[in-house]
Amino acid sequence: MRTILAAGAALLLTLGAAEAECPRAEPPPAKARPDKPAFPAKPPCLDAKGGCPGWEAYSYNDAIKAYNAQIAVYRPLAEAYVKALNAYVKAASDYAQCEVKALQ
């Protein structure tokens, strides 16, 4: 009889400890954060009264087009990373609420 009571008490303690265990939030890995492409440097002649010579204006225009292509690739990666960060924030909030409930 004592063995059964001891086993029952041990089972209740084990179940109570399992309930008190709160899942911890894991942040997204830092290596998942995409690097934002650098905006091309604006040539000084762009602000000058006479403007830029044709070749410099075309070069800057080509750099802007390349930047736009890089941003098109970057945007979905950044959005996915933000989604992972928001999931981490929610998981951290759930963890904190679980810990508060465990204290009550």
pLDDT, tens digit, 9 for 90 and up, residues 40-96: 998 888 777 777 788 888 899 999 999 999 999 999 999 999 999 999 999 999 999
Give residue 9's pLDDT: 45
Residue 48 vs residues 42, 43, 45, 52, 74: alpha-carbon distances, Å: 12, 10, 5, 8, 32
pTM to 2 decimal places = 0.68
Residue 86 vs residue 14, higher pLDDT: 86
Give residue 19's pLDDT: 57
Q: Which long-range contacts (CB under 8 A, 24 or more apart) does 28-36 make?
A: 28/81, 28/84, 28/85, 28/87, 28/88, 32/81, 32/84, 33/81, 34/74, 34/77, 34/78, 34/81, 35/74, 36/74, 36/78
